[in-house]
Amino acid sequence: MNSSSKQLQSAQSMNMQSRLLAHAPFLVACSMLVVIVAIYGSLQTGVFTIDEINLNTAAAMTLMLAATGQTIVLLRGGIDLSIGGMISLGTVIAATRFGDDPANILLWSGIILAIGFGIGALTGLLISVLRLQPFLVTLAGWSILNGIALMILPTDGGKVPEWWIGSGYLEFLGLGTPVWILLALIVFWCWFRATRLCTIIKATGSSEKSAFLSGVSITRINIITYGLSGFFAALASLYLTTQIGGGSPNIGTDYILPSVAAAIIGGVSLFGGRGHLFGTIVGAYILTLIGNLVFVLRVSSYWQPVMSGVILLLAVLASSYAEQKARKRGS
């Protein structure tokens, strides 16, 4: 009898609890979402219809896309504040360059996505080569990109064609565009999380030194993660233009800290290495649905930031509590 398989079995039952603890932050986020949906659903009719799902997903989608990139950077142990500038820049480029010709729009969409990845990659390169702190580099990046956006389009304006806006509201099999984007994101993540690259990104976030000693090129990982973050920010900006119908040179700033918050609420660790996109998606839904909750509770909409702040703190405290527990168990 091979002893290894025996040890595997006994280990798996022993593992159950520590695995549960490892997922505690995500489970906490899920239960918070359930509570919010329950309250919302008990006070408002028609919450559990496809229309409502389409509507709320549409409201959450820009944040979800922005937070997807943020999640990847957070997993690597970094942070990307420049996405705010990239989102603004994306909307103003679209609003000023799209025109009516679909071919042209396709071209410029590609250019915007390329700019997003390129600038992110440059950020990652800079962080590696000069060994800089991502917080300050991406803060400067935000300022620069936001400034460029303002130079292209000093105030809200420009326009994208009606059919482009309409493409954000298409329905297929009863599900709207944002829900299909969400499904695509989920499929993407199911694949991505199983790749070597994702393991390497998480490993680098968990312990840069260990990853380096194991032969990981930190520069390459920085270029990829910040590049992906810029790419998803650009994607968010394209989606956003279908919502606002034009360009807005400062709008991205509203997504910087919420994108971090969505990830953290969903159980992604600020210190890197732990978390996944599903948590971030739940976090983005929570932050979005708080707005609806405030509405159906008939309290001042000003309570919305209070609630999101409290939920953020609760999420962080829950995960640090779980971590302490896990650590005690480990030692």
Partner 1 sequence: MNTFLSRNRLIVLAYIGMLLLVLITAFFSPGFLSASNLRSTFILASFVGIVALGQTFVIIGGGIDLSIPWVLNSAAVLMTLLCAGQDLPLIWVVPLLLAGGGLIGLLNGAGVALLGVPPIIMTLAANVILQGLILVFTGGTPTPAAPDMIKFLSVGRISGIPVIALIWTALTVLAWLLLSKSAFGRHLYAVGTNVTVARYSGVPTTRTTILTYVISGMTAALGGILLTGYSGVAYLGMGDSYLFTTVAAVAIGGAPILGGSGHYIGTVAGALVLTILTGLLPALNLSSGALLVVYGAVILLTVSIGSETFSEMWASASNRRKRIKEGTENG
Partner 2 sequence: MDIVQVKGLTKRFGGIVALDGADFSARLGEVHALLGENGAGKSTFIQILSGALNHDGGDILVDGQDYRPVNPDEALGRGIAAVFQELSLVPDLSVEQNIWFRREPRTWLRTVDVSQMRQQTLELFERYHFPSIATTREVRNLTLAERQIVEVAKGLAKNPRILILDEATSALPASEATWLLSLARQLADEGRLVIFISHRMGEVRAIADRVSVFRNGSTVATHDAAAVSDDQIVTEMIGRQLARLYPERMDTATDRVALQVRDFSSPPMLNGVNFDLREGEVLGVGGLQGHGQREMFQSLFGADKALGSVTLWGKPVCFDTPRQALSGSEGIALVPEDRRGQGLLLTKSVRENLSLPVIRRFSHLGLLNQRKEAELVRETMKSLSIKADTPEQIAGTLSGGNQQKVIFGKMLMTQARVLLLYDPTRGVDVGTKGEIFQLMRQLASEGYAILFYSSDLPELVNVADRVMVLRSGRVARMLEGDDITEEEILRAAVFDSEAA
134 vs 296: CA distance, rounded Å: 40
Contacts of 58 (CB under 8 A, 6+ apart): 168, 169, 176, 177, 178, 243
195 binds, among partner 1, partner 2, none (CB under 5 to 8 A by kind): partner 2
Interface residue with partner 2, options 31, 104, 155, 214 (CB under 8 A): 214
Contact 11, 251 (CB under 8 A): no
Nearest approach, Cβ of residue 311 and partner 1 (Å): 9
Interface residue with partner 1, options 135, 163, 169, 188 (CB under 8 A): 135
Q: Which is nearer to partner 2, 22 or 125 (CB)?
A: 22
**Angle subtended at Cα 191 by Cα 188 and Cα 193, rounded to the nearest 5 degrees:** 100
Q: How many C-beta atoms surround the C-beta of residue 28 within 10 A?
A: 23
79 binds, among partner 1, partner 2, none (CB under 5 to 8 A by kind): partner 1
Tell me: does residue 129 bind partner 1 (CB under 8 A). yes
Tell me: does residue 213 bind partner 2 (CB under 8 A). yes
Contact region for partner 1 (CB under 8 A) — 17-25, 33-41, 131-139, 195-203?
131-139
Contact region for partner 1 (CB under 8 A) — 96-104, 174-182, 213-221, 315-323?
315-323
Tell me: does residue 8 bind partner 2 (CB under 8 A). yes
Q: How many C-beta atoms surround the C-beta of residue 90 within 10 A?
A: 31
Residues 63-77 as b or e (16 or more Cβ within 10 Å = b)? bbbbbbbbbbbbbbb
**Angle subtended at Cα 63 by Cα 249 and Cα 319, rounded to the nearest 5 degrees:** 135
252 vs 119: CA distance, rounded Å: 16
91 vs 160: CA distance, rounded Å: 9
Q: Which residues pair with 247 in a beta bridge?
A: 157
Q: Sketch the per residue contact string, 14 through 43, with partner 1: x for CB under 8 A, - otherwise.
A: ------------------------------
Region 241-300 residues binding partner 1, contact defined as CB under 8 A: 249, 257, 260-261, 264, 270-271, 300
296 binds, among partner 1, partner 2, none (CB under 5 to 8 A by kind): none
Count residues binding partner 2 (CB under 8 A).
39
Name the DSSP letter for residue 79.
-
Residues 162-189 as b or e (16 or more Cβ within 10 Å = b)? eebbeebeeeeeebbbbbebbeebeeeb
Q: Which is nearer to partner 1, 143 or 167 (CB)?
A: 143
Q: Which is nearer to partner 1, 134 or 227 (CB)?
A: 134
39 vs 43: CA distance, rounded Å: 6
State whether the Cα torsion 285-288-290-293 is positive or negative.
negative
Q: How far is CA 152 from the centre of its chain?
A: 26
Contact 207, 273 (CB under 8 A): yes
Interface residue with partner 2, options 44, 49, 195, 324 (CB under 8 A): 195
Interface residue with partner 2, options 4, 45, 300, 301 (CB under 8 A): 4
Q: Which residues bind partner 1 (CB under 8 A)?
A: 79, 126, 129-133, 135-137, 139-152, 154, 249, 257, 260-261, 264, 270-271, 300, 302-310, 312-313, 316-317, 320
Residues in the site for partner 2, rule: CB under 8 A?
Answer: 2-5, 7-8, 10-12, 14-15, 18, 22, 191, 194-196, 199-200, 202-203, 205-207, 209-211, 213-217, 273-274, 326-327, 329-331
